[in-house]
Amino acid sequence: MKTLIKNGRIVTAVDDYRGDILVDGELITLLGKNLDISADLVIDAKDKLVIPGGIDPHTHLDMPFGSTVSADDFQTGTAAAACGGTTTIIDFAIQTKGSSMLAALDTWHKKAQGKASIDYSFHMAVTDLSKPEYLEEMNHLMKHDGVTSFKLFMAYPGSLMVDDACIFKAMSVAGRHGGLVSIHAENGLVITELVANALAAGNKAPEFHALTRPDAAEAEAVGRSIAIAQMAGTPVYIVHTSCYDSLTKVSAARAAGIPVMAETCPQYLFLDSSYYSKDDFAAAKYVATPPLREKWNQEKLWEGLRMNDLQVVATDHCPFNFVGQKELGRNDFTKIPNGMPGIENRMSLVYNGGVTGGRISVNRFVEITSTAAAKIFGLFPRKGTIAAGSDADLVIFDPKKKMTISASTHHMNVDYNCYEGMEVEGVVETVLSRGRVVVNNGNYVGSSGSGQFLNRLTAEFR
Ligand code: URP
Ligand code: ZN
Ligand code: ZN
């Protein structure tokens, strides 16, 4: 099957020109002007951007959380991602304490198998390195399983949290083999004290989720994880950077030549802590970790994206329905499942706030929503760019079209949208995933099971 995309404005992290793209099978095979080639399908992209498919390296589909599970599985979550212009996700397989990481990977493969409509990969969330064989498993994952990145949690004591020694060990092993450790940076032990104090004082409403997870708890852990990475002699990637205090730790380290990379998420760029004042328990919709911060942090994060102290915008998509799931914490904020939906809205939000809003260039938009994640996580140049030989993951994006975000029209399997009523300029029109049209003029036409698992590369092969 040949597809010819004509007259588009082709934008990558470094290019910006008008031209045509020939897709043959799953790959981009030719770029040029006025290509006169017969094709099975011709798409007119006049007045549209043609950009690399988005890469969201931080999602939680079908993820257990306490007594419940995130509301999007690999079928609904990847369909929603596609509708929003994302053609690759990297989700998290989570090691159960005392159990094998290889078993966890198997579990997550089964969750995705036959369901994903776009390509996907996994980070391994490491929760236990108490046995030597677990370190061996990290090697195995990097060498044989295409899992070249790991997430360790400095928060959630009693479930996911690991201690500093564990982080040091994981970084040392990952670093030796060209893998990368990412860190959920929050001081879990201090937060536990703050939470206990809040509950003892009878403060059980959702806003206390945020008040017991202050900026300093995040910034301290960011700084500590950077120091541990320095001692291990490895790079580190900080997930879901939410506030200026954390960003300054990252910026200072980078200015000193320390290899630190970091992501932020749309919720920290567009939402703020005033959302915790919503009544009728609606504040629970915004309970995620780290929590939303004071509004002034948003421009600082945009500045971080502009200056490349932040490299990636990921979603941390972790949806729970308001009815039946968020409601579990009606009488106690600690029982509210942590997480927010957003996999479908990332590209339009970042385009609107970034490019339309005059904060970043269109090339930088592509870089922070696709190219940088491909490079950092071992998918480039197969993913993250438009070049002959790259996978034909392409988004035809209308930069002038407007859309009002709403749960009534979104494809995510969750009963609210955090950005309800926000108007964005810049809308996904048509999406190709490895050459297959999965979104046509805004309509999802993909099929479950056509997404493939992506083996990712370690640093020496990037
Ligand atoms: O609240 C969040 N972010 N839930 C997902 C798990 C995590 O910490 O990334
Ligand atoms: Zn996290
Ligand atoms: Zn997460």
Q: What are the pLDDT digits (tens) for 385-415?
A: 999 999 999 999 999 999 999 999 999 999 9
| Cis-peptide into 381, omega within 30 deg | yes
Q: Is 318 in the pocket of ligand 1 (CB under 6 A)?
A: yes
- Tell how far the Cα of 289 is from the centroid of ligand 3, in angstroms: 8
End-to-end alpha carbon distance in the chain: 30
| Cis-peptide into 57, omega within 30 deg | no
Please give the torsion angle defined by the CA atoms of residues 227, 231, 234 and 239, in that order, rounded to the nearest 10 degrees: -30
The continuous run of DSSP H or E covering 298 comes out as helix 297-306
The total of other beta-carbon atoms located within 10 Å of residue 458's CB is 17
Q: d(Cα 25, Cα 29) in Å, to the nearest integer?
A: 9
Q: d(Cα 208, Cα 204) in Å, to the nearest integer?
A: 7
Pairing of strands 41-44, 119-125: unpaired
- Tell how far the Cα of 395 is from the centroid of ligand 2, in angstroms: 28
| The CATH fold of domain 2-51+391-444 | Urease, subunit C; domain 1 (2.30.40)
The total of other beta-carbon atoms located within 10 Å of residue 286's CB is 25
Q: How many helices (H) and strands (E) does the chain have?
A: 13, 19
- Tell how far the Cα of 421 is from the centroid of ligand 2, in angstroms: 27
* DSSP 8-state assignment for residue 284: G
Q: Which residue minimizes the CA distance to atom 8 of ligand 1?
A: 289
Q: Which of 350, 455, 460, 462 is nearest to 88 (CA)?
A: 455
Indicate the angle between helix axes 215-232 and 164-176, nearest 10 degrees: 50
- Tell how far the Cα of 106 is from the centroid of ligand 2, in angstroms: 22
Residue 462's pLDDT band (boundaries 50, 70, 90)? low
The continuous run of DSSP H or E covering 169 comes out as helix 164-176
Res 171 pLDDT > 60: yes
The two structure tokens encoding residue 124? 């391994």
- Tell how far the Cα of 307 is from the centroid of ligand 3, in angstroms: 24
Spatial contact of 153 and 160, defined as CB atoms under 8 Å apart: yes
- Tell how far the Cα of 318 is from the centroid of ligand 3, in angstroms: 7
- Tell how far the Cα of 273 is from the centroid of ligand 2, in angstroms: 18
The residue to mutate among 160, 318, 335, 418, having the most atoms of ligand 1 within 8 angstroms of its beta carbon, is 318
- In this predicted structure, what is the pLDDT of residue 58? 99
The residue to mutate among 56, 91, 289, 317, having the most atoms of ligand 1 within 8 angstroms of its beta carbon, is 289
Q: Which residue minimizes the CA distance to atom 2 of ligand 1?
A: 339
Ligand closest to CA 159: 1
Q: Is 289 in the pocket of ligand 1 (CB under 6 A)?
A: yes
- Domain locations along the chain: 2-51+391-444, 65-376
The residue to mutate among 320, 338, 343, 418, having the most atoms of ligand 1 within 8 angstroms of its beta carbon, is 338
Over range 150-177, report the average pLDDT: 97
Ligand closest to CA 285: 1
- In this predicted structure, what is the pLDDT of residue 162? 98
Q: Is 60 in the pocket of ligand 1 (CB under 6 A)?
A: yes
pLDDT digits (tens, 9 = 90+) for 355-371: 999 999 999 999 999 99
The two structure tokens encoding residue 336? 């509210």
Q: d(Cα 309, Cα 264) in Å, to the nearest integer?
A: 10
Q: Is 316 in the pocket of ligand 1 (CB under 6 A)?
A: yes
Q: Is 288 in the pocket of ligand 1 (CB under 6 A)?
A: yes
Q: Is 184 in the pocket of ligand 1 (CB under 6 A)?
A: yes
- Tell how far the Cα of 240 is from the centroid of ligand 2, in angstroms: 7
- Tell how far the Cα of 7 is from the centroid of ligand 3, in angstroms: 38
Residue 233's pLDDT band (boundaries 50, 70, 90)? very high
**Higher pLDDT among residues 462 and 310, named by residue:** 310
Res 456 pLDDT > 60: yes
- In this predicted structure, what is the pLDDT of residue 459? 83
Q: d(Cα 121, Cα 288) in Å, to the nearest integer?
A: 23
- In this predicted structure, what is the pLDDT of residue 461? 58
Q: Is 254 in the pocket of ligand 1 (CB under 6 A)?
A: no
Residue 257's pLDDT band (boundaries 50, 70, 90)? very high
| Side-chain-facing half-sphere of 101: CA atoms under 13 Å | 29
The continuous run of DSSP H or E covering 59 comes out as strand 54-59
Residue 460's pLDDT band (boundaries 50, 70, 90)? low
pLDDT digits (tens, 9 = 90+) for 441-450: 999 999 999 9
Q: Which residue minimizes the CA distance to atom 7 of ligand 1?
A: 289
Q: Which atom belonging to ligand 1 lies closest to the Cα atom of 151?
A: 9
For the chain, the average pLDDT equals: 98
The CATH classification number of 65-376 equals 3.20.20.140
Residue 130's pLDDT band (boundaries 50, 70, 90)? very high
Q: Is 338 in the pocket of ligand 1 (CB under 6 A)?
A: yes
Sign of CA dihedral 25, 30, 36, 41: positive
Q: Which residue minimizes the CA distance to atom 9 of ligand 1?
A: 316
| Side-chain-facing half-sphere of 172: CA atoms under 13 Å | 12
- Tell how far the Cα of 153 is from the centroid of ligand 2, in angstroms: 7
